[in-house]
Amino acid sequence: MSASIFDIAQGDLAAVEQRLRMPRREFLQFCTTVAATLGLPAGAEAAVAKAVESAKRPSVIWLHFQECTGCSESLLRAEHPTLEKLIFDVISLDYHETLMAAAGHQAEKARKDAMAQHKGKYILVVEGAIPTKQNGIYCKIGGHTAVDLVKECAADAAAVIAIGSCASWGGMPSTDPNPTGASSVAEVLGKPVATIPGCPPNPYNFLATAVHFLTFGKLPATDKLGRPLFAYGRLIHENCERRAHFDAGRFAMAFGDEGHRKGYCLYKLGCKGPETYANCPTLGFGDAGEGNWPVGCGHPCIGCTEKGVGFAKPIHSMAKMLNVAPPLQYPRIAEEIGKGSNFASAAALAAIAGAAAGGAVMLAKNLGLSHQAAELEKAKEAKTKAEA
């Protein structure tokens, strides 16, 4: 029989309950939720529980560069577990300029000590883009540029995580004309890193990533951009609560119009959900209800987790459909009660059926062209990379 969360000794659970100040039922729910969020197989929740209960907390060094501290603010609002439980009982946050009590040379000493004591074992988290123009003079900490700091800290890190859109791919600081040469962590280091984009990202995406490392000694599976697949494996459009309105052709055409008030799809107002990968619709943000994300609040998604979309495309420009296009014909919102058929209505029905058949052919053709265009674009990107 595979390991079960119920096989953990009651004494161990009691110790965790006392240490985390979390009822054992809530702790077991937390472990099960993390395992489910990560898409782990049945029985993995036991490994998560055992790791949190007994594994040595990984040391975390958290650097800040060109950012608004929104990612840290997001983490401050995590509830399962709360911040103090996270940094004192799940991870060991040894350096974080915003949260640590030390300042000046004492803070820098804490960073150096953590790097020396946990060489090859600590997790480096980077928040914010890194300015590279004019030898990186636009961001210095303790007399060292951001470029030098991130390279120094990454050299002996067991894992590097870029949190937020700025660290993941440049974000807002890198928008044209990008006077400081704001760049991503991966670009500066010249190698792939784990990225958790978002402006700000959901804190549980970071928490689940950290717990995965704690449990298995490695980061979760990622896509080609370094984003964990458990959080960024599906388009926002696929799980959006307004998707049914999209399929039925019900769109808000202007902010405050009848469709907008009724919760219709925001695609025509510039929603980037159809080309943005994230779990925003499925994972509550900040424990303030499930409608607590842009689309749930009535604002189009701006694509903040997607490089080349967020802070790059105009907010109200139409999204590129990556998997499905709006159909040529839509069902009516309300049908009138039938009153029988006559020759004219039967002829009209036949004409509609013929038009529908032609529409289906055109839809299939358009989808085929869309797929063909997508494949050509992929081939072009691959060729560009090969030539580079």
Strands (DSSP E) contained in 83-132 are 92-96, 123-127, 130-131
Question: Which structural domains are found in the chain, ordered by start?
Answer: 55-232 (3.40.50.700), 236-332+363-380 (4.10.480.10)
Specify burial of residue 301 (Cβ count, 10 A radius: 0-12, 13-18, 19+): buried
Tokens 């060991």 -> residue? 92
Other C-beta atoms within 10 Å of 77: how many?
14
Please tell me which residue, 38 or 274, carries the higher pLDDT value: 274
User: pLDDT tens, 97-132?
Assistant: 888 878 888 888 989 999 999 999 899 999 999 999
Alpha-carbon gap, residue 211 to 32, rounded angstroms: 12
Condensed to tens digits (0 to 9), the pLDDT of residues 54-64 reads 556 778 899 99
How far is Cα 155 from Cα 126, in angstroms, rounded to an integer?
14
**Where does residue 8 rank: exposed (0-12), middle (13-18), buried (19+ CB within 10 A)?**
buried
pLDDT at residue 256, as a whole number: 94
- What is the rounded distance in angstroms from the CA atom of residue 344 to the CA atom of residue 364? 30
Check whether the bond before 81 is cis (ω within 30° of 0): yes
- The answer to whether the CB of 198 falls within 8 A of the CB of 278 is yes
Average pLDDT, rounded, for the chain: 79
Please count the residues of the chain: 388
- pLDDT of 340 higher than 50: no
* Per-residue buried b or exposed e for 96-117, using 16+ beta carbons within 10 Å of the residue's own CB: bbeebeeeeeebbebbeebbee
Describe the crossing of helices 44-54 and 203-216 by its angle, rounded to 10 degrees: 90
**Would you state the pLDDT for residue 3?**
47
The Cα–Cα gap between 295 and 271 comes to 8
Using N-to-C axis directions, what is the helix angle for 10-20 and 24-37, rounded to 10°?
A: 90
Between residues 8 and 116, which one has the greater pLDDT? 116
Question: What pLDDT is attached to residue 107?
Answer: 87
Is this structure's pTM higher than 0.85?
no
Residue 285 has pLDDT above 90, yes or no: no
Token couple for 229:
């697949």
What's the pLDDT score for residue 278?
A: 94
Tens-digit pLDDT profile for residues 164-176: 999 999 999 999 9
**Exposed, middle or buried, 369 (CB in 10 Å: 0-12/13-18/19+)?**
exposed
pLDDT at 196 over 70: yes
C-alpha span between 182 and 66 (Å, rounded): 8
63, amino acid identity? L
